[in-house]
Amino acid sequence: MDTPQPNIVMRPVRADDQPHLDDVRQAAFAPVFASFRSILGDDIYELAQAREDEAQGELLVSLLAPESGWEVYVAEMADAVVGFVLIQLNQDTHVGEIGLNAVHLDHAGKGVGTAMYNFAIARMKEAGMRVATVATGGDPSHAPARRAYEKAGFTVQIPSVWLCRKL
């Protein structure tokens, strides 16, 4: 598979990568979780969203397990993990999915996301997938992710809205 930029190396995850992936995840998702709190307000955030946000680290660990059904790749620059992407390949439907992924905020805008998504798409094509999917949030904190996915060719979308109210 091609790596679109020579300074970004994509490789399969290794067992010793987990702490680095968690650092990337925490840095990348801190503004997202803050956005969720701002949009929902403290009361609804604590009741409806906080536990899910707090559990994301455990979710990542579970997705790293070989039996999870996800392929996990890291993006490195200068031998440092700066991003990661999870890919699922459904051989029955021929649909590939980009799952949990993140680029460390210190490396945003340096082509890491583009390299990861181009790599994921190439991996899906190599595996015989006919459609690639990815899901993301519609809130302002996800705007950079939406731009990166659109740049990678994800232009067909079904908008979704999650509505809440306090009881």
CA 142 to CA 35: how far, in whole Å? 9
CA 165 to CA 167: how far, in whole Å? 6
Q: Is the Cβ–Cβ distance between 146 and 111 less than 8 Å?
A: no
pTM, two decimal places: 0.92
What CATH number is given for 9-151 in this structure?
3.40.630.30
**Would you give per-residue pLDDT tens digits along the chain (167 residues)?**
444 455 999 999 999 999 999 999 999 999 999 999 999 999 999 999 999 999 999 999 999 999 999 999 999 999 999 999 999 999 999 999 999 999 999 999 899 999 999 999 999 999 999 999 999 999 999 999 999 999 999 999 999 999 999 99
Domain boundaries, the chain: 9-151
CA 34 to CA 137: how far, in whole Å? 13
Residue 146 tokens read as 């939406």
Radius of gyration for the alpha carbons in the chain, expressed in angstroms and rounded: 16
SS3 157: coil
